[in-house]
Amino acid sequence: MTEQPVRPRVPPPWFVHTAWRVHRALNRLSGGRFLWTPANRRGWGALRLTTVGRRSGQERSVIVGYLEDGPDLVVPAMNGWEEGHPAWWLNLRANPDAVVRLARRAPRPVRARRAEGQERERLWQRWLAVDPDLGAHAARRATETDVVVLEPRGGTA
């Protein structure tokens, strides 16, 4: 009898959505100081990503986890543990120009693109090295997790 891999427990969707709303509110109220950096014990940081809604044309902001890869920021495009791609990634696919805000830094314009092939595999392995549960969480979904690279835009780093 083969042993089934242990699937990580995930909180109910209402809890996850509430937690992210609280995190966004704290970030907004603190003027962007309520973000952590990759130097923390997690090994990855959190950034505030502002995109333009693909249907509304309105600015939309979310907080997502990231890794640094040279001047680029790398983000897994997961919709929590739910199916489908997150709205922020669908917005970036329609309009790849966005703005990120890192802890205690000025806003930074970026252009998003999907990592492909060997680059995707290398970046996905970096994520798995800092968050070993990420692979199990991604396996819960039928949707493949895109790896998004946010490149500096306009000569800024």
CATH number of the CATH domain containing 76: 2.30.110.10
Q: With respect to residue 157, please indicate whether it lies within any of the assigned structural domains.
A: no
Whether 3 is covered by a domain: the verdict is no
- 7 is a domain residue: no
Report if residue 102 sits inside a domain: yes
Q: What is the pLDDT of residue 41?
A: 64
How confident is the model over 6-18, as pLDDT tens digits? 555 666 667 666 7
Q: 126 is in which domain, residue-wise?
A: 13-152
Distance separating alpha carbons of residues 88 and 20, to the nearest angstrom: 14
Whether 4 is covered by a domain: the verdict is no
pLDDT in tens, 125-140: 999 998 888 888 788 8
Q: If you average pLDDT over residues 39-50, what whole number do you get?
A: 80
Residue 56 pLDDT more than 60? yes
